[in-house]
A = this chain, B = another copy of it.
């Protein structure tokens, strides 16, 4: 909980979600401006899509896939953010998600820094972050002990944590990425940032 007494902003995302990356780059500064903290919940969209009968945008029909690739890059330009669509996409992200949850238990600020680094590695530097080695390198670059994290990625507790987070997301009605809940109100998509800001400013509209 924030020291201001306001509840945190809950933010669900998959590390392979372009719009999740765009929201991630904006949400912390926005939350801070309104006295809120951000509580990140990396999840696995593969499981969410299986449960909800959906599919990644680029693997749906050809017209939607073509448009989505255009819109990822244009939305990034519109938001003033760098974007380079990864050569390998979508990718498996359980290692990045597990690393996040382990780090969160150690140091919340470091976990946030890791989430941002992992997203930028994938969507700016075209680095495939699916393998444990890639995740370990990103974490080591921000000061995380590589050996400790490597062990944590295999720990039953961390695997269970990720599983529980996905289950809980589904229970809360999360059906894609990014999905934000503020004081019980759901917002889906990076394009809902203006509505999120208006909500934070007005206390609901």
Chain A residues in the interface with B (C-beta under 8 A): 52-54, 60-61, 63-64, 66-67, 70-71, 74-75, 77-78, 170, 173-176, 186, 188-189, 191-192, 194-195, 198, 205
Contact = CB atoms under 8 A, between A and B. Distances in A.
Contacts of A195: 74-75, 78
Contact of A52 (B53, B64, B188): B64
A71 B188 contact: yes
Contacts of A64: 52, 54, 175-176
A53 B60 contact: yes
Nearest to A78: B195
A158 to B, nearest CB: 26
Given A63-B174, A192-B191, A205 B53 contact: no
User: In the assembly, how many copies of this chain are there?
Assistant: 2
B78 A198 contact: yes
Nearest to A70: B186
A24 B67 CA distance: 21
23 contacts: A52-B60, A52-B63, A52-B64, A53-B60, A53-B61, A54-B60, A54-B61, A63-B173, A63-B174, A64-B176, A67-B173, A67-B186, A67-B188, A70-B186, A71-B188, A74-B205, A75-B195, A78-B195, A78-B198, A78-B205, A189-B191, A191-B192, A194-B194
